[in-house]
C-alpha cells in the first residue's frame, strides 16, 4: 500500500535547490516528498523555477503569506491528513543580506530582508506542519543564532559544503529531525569541476581587471585585493564561498587556472558554478517568463544574472544529505 506523500511548501525557493536535491534522496519504505507550492517574488529566479517545475504554483510574497489568516493550501479536504496548513514540510532558506558578515550595517533578523524569517515563523506557528527545514549563513552577530534557535525550538547543524562539493561554504541548518552523520570522505576537487582547457580562454580577465586586483583593496585595506581571498585557484582543492557577488566580476569572480603553462586569470563559466553547487549543467540557462498577456515565454538568462542566482542558492548535495534523515 502506497503511503501518503509528504507535501512540501518551499519558501524563498530561488532556482529550486531543494527540489533539485529530492531525486538524490532515496525514500525506500518512506513516504515520497511532493512539492505542492513554492514562494519567491524575484521574477528571474521564479522564471528558472517555472522552467523546471511548471506545475508547481508560486504563492509569491512570503510576507503576505505570513500575514494572511490562513495558508492558500489549507482546504478542508486536506485538514485531516495534512493539518491546518494543507502541507506538512516547510522549507525556508530565508534571505541572508542583513545577517552576512560582509554587511556591517545589517540589522540581522530585524532587517528588511532577513526579517522575513519572522513571516516564515508565523506560518510555522499558524499552519503547524510536521516538519521544517530552515537555512542561513553563520551570522556576523552570534546572538542571532540564539534568536533563530529560540524561535524554532531547535539548535542548528553547521555543515560546510566542502564535505560534498568543491566549494567551502559553511551554512547553518535548523530542522526537527536528526541529520545523518557527515561522511568522512571529502567532496571533489575544484580542478575536476572545470570546463575543458580549450573552452575557457575566452573567459580571461582583461589587463585592467588584473590591475584592479593588484591595487589596495579599498577603504581600510592596505594590501591588494588578492589578499582578500575571494579568488579560486585550480591548484587548491576547494574554492572559497561563491556568493551572489559573483555577478559583479572582480574581485569576486576570479579563478587562477593553472592548467595553462602561464596561469590564466579568468572568470568562472556558469556550468562550472552549476557543477560546484551540485546542479545539472544548464540548470539556469533558461527561464519561463510570464508576459503581460498572461502567456509564458521561454528566454535565455544572461551570464551575470545566472551567476547571481547560483551564488544566492544552497548547495544541492548538502540538502540531499540532510533530507536523508527526514522520517
- In this prediction, residues 196-223 reach a mean pLDDT of 90
Average pLDDT, the chain: 94
Indicate if the pLDDT at residue 2 is higher than 70: no
Answer whether residue 12 is part of any domain: yes
Asked whether the beta carbons of 13 and 47 are under 8 A apart, the reply is no
Instruction: Quote the pLDDT of residue 287.
Output: 98
Q: Report the percentage of the chain scoring pLDDT > 90.
A: 85
Q: What is the pLDDT of residue 223?
A: 86
Range from 81-85, 178-182, 320-324 carrying the lowest mean pLDDT: 81-85
Residues 103, 130: one domain? yes
Stretch 230-241: mean pLDDT? 97
Q: Is 12 left (phi over 0), alpha (psi -120 to 50) or beta?
A: left
Residue 213: its H or E element: helix 207-214
- Residue 80 has a pLDDT of 66
Residues 115, 75 within the same domain: yes
- Which CATH number do you get for residue 129? 3.40.50.150
Confidence of residue 79 (pLDDT cuts 50, 70, 90): low
In a domain? residue 256: yes
Cα separation, 81 vs 78, in Å, equals: 6
Q: Are residues 149 and 55 in the same domain?
A: yes
* Within-domain flag for 273: no
Q: Are residues 166 and 36 in the same domain?
A: yes
Same domain, 263 and 175: no
Residues 96 and 167 in one domain: yes
pLDDT of amino acid 256 = 98
Distance, CA of 93 to CA of 59 (rounded, Å): 16
- Domain that residue 78 falls in: 6-186+290-323
- SS3 of the chain: helix, strand, coil, percent, to 5: 35, 20, 50
- In 3-state terms, what secondary structure has residue 114? helix
CA distance to 42, 74, 154, 227, 321, per residue, from 123 (Å): 20, 12, 17, 43, 25
CA dihedral 26, 183, 15, 124 (to 10 degrees): 80
Same domain, 81 and 203: no
Cα–Cα distance measured from residue 82 to residue 103, given in angstroms and rounded to the nearest whole number:
39
Dist. CA 320–CA 161, nearest whole Å: 11
Are 148 and 207 found together in one domain? Answer: no
- Number of separate domains in the chain: 2
Query: Residue 252: pLDDT band by 50, 70, 90 thresholds?
Result: very high
pLDDT tens column, 16-48: 999 999 999 999 999 999 999 999 999 999 999
Is residue 139 in some structural domain?
A: yes
Q: What is the pLDDT of residues 178-208, one digit of tens each?
A: 999 999 988 999 999 999 999 999 999 999 9
Q: Are 59 and 39 in contact (CB under 8 A)?
A: yes
Give the model's pLDDT for residue 278. 98
Residue 277 domain flag: no
Does residue 258 lie in a domain region? yes
Q: Are residues 88 and 178 in the same domain?
A: yes
Round to whole Å and give the CA distance between 102 and 217.
14
Confidence of residue 73 (pLDDT cuts 50, 70, 90): very high
Asked if 94 and 24 sit in the same domain, the reply is: yes
Q: Distance from first CA to last CA of the chain, Å, rounded?
A: 18
Please check whether residue 78 lies inside any domain of the structure: yes
Q: Which of 169, 193, 174, 190 is nearest to 316 (CA)?
A: 169
252 and 144 within one domain: no
For the segment 158-183, the average pLDDT, to the nearest whole number, is 97
Q: What is the pLDDT of residues 95-125, one digit of tens each?
A: 999 898 877 677 888 988 899 999 999 999 9
- Please state, in angstroms and rounded to a whole number, the distance separating the CA atoms of residues 148 and 117: 8
165 and 45 both lie in a single domain: yes
Strands 264-266 and 255-257: what pairing? antiparallel
Residue 312 lies in a domain: yes
Residue with cell string 513516504: 31
277 pLDDT band, cuts 50/70/90, is: very high
Beta strand 157-160 with 232-233: parallel, antiparallel or unpaired? unpaired
Amino acid at each position: 500500500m502506497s503511503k501518503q506523500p509528504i507535501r512540501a511548501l518551499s519558501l524563498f525557493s530561488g532556482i529550486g535547490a531543494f527540489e533539485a536535491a529530492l531525486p538524490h534522496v532515496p525514500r525506500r519504505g518512506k513516504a515520497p516528498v511532493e512539492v505542492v507550492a513554492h514562494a519567491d517574488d524575484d521574477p528571474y529566479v521564479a522564471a528558472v523555477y517555472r522552467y523546471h517545475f511548471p506545475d508547481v504554483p508560486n504563492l509569491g510574497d512570503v510576507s503576505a503569506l505570513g500575514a494572511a489568516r490562513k495558508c492558500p493550501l489549507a482546504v478542508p479536504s486536506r485538514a485531516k491528513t495534512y493539518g491546518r496548513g494543507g502541507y506538512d514540510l516547510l522549507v525556508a532558506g530565508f534571505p541572508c543580506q542583513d545577517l552576512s558578515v560582509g554587511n556591517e550595517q545589517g540589522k540581522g533578523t530585524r532587517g528588511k530582508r532577513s526579517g522575513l524569517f519572522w513571516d516564515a515563523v508565523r506560518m510555522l506557528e499558524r499552519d503547524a506542519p510536521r516538519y521544517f527545514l530552515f537555512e542561513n549563513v553563520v551570522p556576523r552577530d552570534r546572538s542571532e543564532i540564539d534568536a533563530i534557535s529560540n524561535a524554532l525550538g531547535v539548535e542548528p547543524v553547521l555543515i560546510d559544503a566542502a564535505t560534498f562539493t568543491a566549494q567551502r561554504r559553511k551554512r547553518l541548518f535548523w530542522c526537527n529531525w536528526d541529520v545523518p552523520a557527515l561522511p568522512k570522505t571529502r567532496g571533489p576537487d575544484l580542478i575536476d569541476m572545470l570546463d575543458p582547457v580549450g573552452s575557457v580562454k575566452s573567459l580571461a580577465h582583461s589587463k585592467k581587471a588584473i590591475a584592479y586586483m593588484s591595487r589596495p583593496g579599498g577603504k581600510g585595506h592596505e594590501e591588494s585585493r588578492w589578499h582578500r581571498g575571494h579568488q579560486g585557484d585550480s591548484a587548491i582543492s576547494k574554492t572559497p564561498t561563491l556568493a551572489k557577488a559573483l555577478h559583479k566580476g572582480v574581485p569576486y569572480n576570479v579563478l587562477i587556472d593553472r592548467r595553462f603553462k602561464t596561469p590564466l586569470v579568468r572568470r568562472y563559466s556558469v556550468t562550472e558554478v552549476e557543477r560546484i553547487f551540485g546542479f545539472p549543467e544548464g540548470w539556469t540557462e533558461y527561464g519561463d517568463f510570464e508576459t503581460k498577456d498572461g502567456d509564458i515565454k521561454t528566454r535565455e538568462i544572461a551570464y551575470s544574472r545566472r551567476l547571481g542566482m547560483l551564488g544566492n542558492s544552497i548547495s544541492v548535495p548538502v540538502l540531499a544529505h540532510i533530507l536523508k534523515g527526514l522520517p
